[in-house]
Homo-oligomer: A and B are copies of this chain.
């Protein structure tokens, strides 16, 4: 029941715990510990079923071999996949991941960030929500490398990995235009998030380039609370303005909208575009022009940047990595 410690092993063998620690950490070389002792220690450790106590090690070394992942909602398929890819990448470097969902609330975000700090995670990957800039800087200030993913905050010196959101929306909208759409709605859920803002800009740029008028009535932003009802309301509004197509800024918005439209049998001849291409679309039977995000790559790159900083505290380069999404018809 009680865990066996390095000291237990040392006592059993009648040697010092220093030797045991050294061997168990593979630092027995450099002519330090004799081969036979090394072997004996290793064997005894195995026999006694020794397992290092990370809390003790972490206290001493300051490293926990854990990273924190702070997203908007792990159950959102985008973040769920991202979490999985980050898990995989982290595992390769012998890190485990602890997660938290902010629900786009700055208060929750801050609470979770503080817990990560208290638990001495070695680094954190965050999908920043509006207004959390200072929280991110606090994480960094307490010595924990941080990288942003999916979204970025431009005025803080922290690296990020995002897709080219402007371009993604631009391509989707342009495609719809080429298919003959003239009144294209845009449905988002929080215009203040960097990624959404860029998507909005890309959408507008496509319209302008095609010489189409932009119309504020065709741009909707629903809030996170009462999501379902709000979507319904904004859809009603869009339809009353006679849109012939809608661009969804995120999978969540898209899924809820499609589901609402389908229920009320109002899909008709509407065309759809979307940033992010969740599995749901693939099976929906509804043709949707979407930009699929390279989620695995997002996760890998974020972890890479983080790992670099964890292992080299002097490395201070701040970069924003833009990945290209793929247009899927």
Q: Which residues of A contact B (CB under 8 A)?
A: 1-3, 51-56, 58-59, 64, 66, 73-77, 80-81, 83-84, 87, 96-101, 112, 114-115, 117-120, 141-143, 255, 258-259, 262, 279-280, 282-286
Contacts and interface: CB of A to CB of B under 8 A. Distances in A.
A224 to B, nearest CB: 15
Contacts of A98: 66, 96-99
Contact of A59 (B55, B74, B81): B55
Nearest to A279: B280
A84 B101 contact: yes
A1 B141 contact: yes
Contacts of A286: 283, 285
Please tell me how many copies of the chain the complex holds.
2
Contacts of A64: 55, 119
Contacts of A279: 255, 259, 280
A91 to B, nearest CB: 8
Contacts of A81: 75
A59, A119, A259, A280: which has the most chain B beta carbons within 10 Å?
Answer: A119
Nearest to A87: B101
Contacts of A53: 59, 118, 120
A83 B75 contact: yes
Contacts of A117: 51
A3 B100 CA distance: 23
B96 A55 contact: no
Nearest to A115: B96
A103 to B, nearest CB: 10
B66 A74 contact: no
A262 B285 CA distance: 8
Nearest to A259: B283
